Structure 1
Amino acid sequence: MINSQEIKKGTCIRMDGGIWVCIDFQHRKPGKGNTVMNTKLKNVSDGRVLERTFQVGFKLDDVRVERRPYQYLYEDPSGLIFMNQETFEQIPVARHQITGVEFMKEGDIVEIVTDTSDGTILSAEMPVKTNLKITHSEPGIKGNTATNATKPATLETGAEVRVPLFINEGETIQVDTRDGSYLGRVNE
C-alpha cells in the first residue's frame, strides 16, 4: 500500500479491478480544505485514460513492477515476439501495449514492464530516440528554405513523419518515438 502523495509518473496502482499507470500528476493545495493529488491514469490492458483526484493520505494498492530489456524479433498472429536479453526466453506482446510501435524495426531493444506478482506484461517502451532510414521522400525545391517548411517522408518501418525540405531519400534521421517528431540528421 502507498499513500496518494507518493504517486509520480510511472507508478502502477491496482484500482477498479485493473492495473493503472500514472502518466501525469499534480500536487494541489486549494485555498480551503485539504491538499489533493490530481492524477492522469492509463489502463494498461485497454489504454483507456482517466483523471482521478485523491485526498492526501488516501491509501492505494501499488503494483511492484520489473523492467527488463528485450529484443524485437518478428511478428506473428500471437503478437510481436520479443527475446529476453538475459535468459533468451521469447514472449509475445500485443501491439497496443507498445509505445512507439510504428517506429520499431527488427533487432531494436525495448524495455518491457512486468508485474512481479504474476509476470503479467503491463507495457513495453521504445527508447525515446531511434535512427531510421528514409525510404521515400519528395525532393525539396531549391530556394524554398527561408521558412520552417516541412514535407512528409516515409521511413523504413512504414511510418510517416514530417522532415525539413533539405532531407532526401536514403538519408538516416533521428526520430522521437513519443510523438514522431524529427530530431536531426544522422551521419554514418
Structure 2
Amino acid sequence: MPGHACTALDVGTGNGLLAVDLRQKVPAVTGIDREETVLESARQEHDDIDWVLGDVMEYPFTGTFDVVASVATLHHMLDLHATLRRLAELTSPGGVLVIVGLARPTRPADFALDLVGVVQHRWLSWRRNYWEHSAPTVWPPPHSYAEVRRCAAAQLPGMYWRKLPMFRYALTWHKPGTLATSFK
C-alpha cells in the first residue's frame, strides 16, 4: 500500500469486508458491486464508506484511486484484457493495483497446489466454522492460471504474480508515476 494513499476502490466489494479493512488505512474508500442485496447489507453496517451500485467497467468515476483492490472478482469478468485495462486506468500514477483471484488449473503443478487447497479449505472450515458470503459465485473459474498470468503480463508491465493455495493467485502492479497526496 502506498504510504500516502488517500483513496481506495474495492472492486466487487460484495459484503464489504475488504472495503472495511481498507478504511482502517485509507481516509476515503469506495466499494462498488453490481449486486444490490449484498451492497445494501454492507451499507447498513458501515456508513463511512462510499458504496456504489454499478459495474466497474462502465461506472463514470470522477477520478482515479491510489489503491485499487479486488478479491475473488476477476473470474466474474469474461474479458480479462478489458478488465485489467480498466482497473489500470482507475489506478492513480504511483498507486497500486492488487488482485487476489481464482483460476482454473490446467497443469500438473496447478492440480497439485489445488489439491493442497482442498485439504486446507476443509481444515479451515472445520477449525474456524465455515462462513459463506452472500455474493454470487462462479465455479469453476473461466480462466486458467496461465491465461490470467499471460494477460496480466501484457496489460500490466512489471506486475508481480504469485500462485496461492485454495485455488487463488495474487497479482500486484505499481502504476508508474508519483502519487499525489490530495483527495481526488
TM range (shorter): under 0.3
Higher radius of gyration, 1 or 2: 1
| Higher relative contact order (Cα pairs below 8 Å, separated by 6+ residues) | 2
Q: Which has more strand, going by share of residues?
A: 1
TM-score (norm 2): 0.24
TM-score (norm 1): 0.24
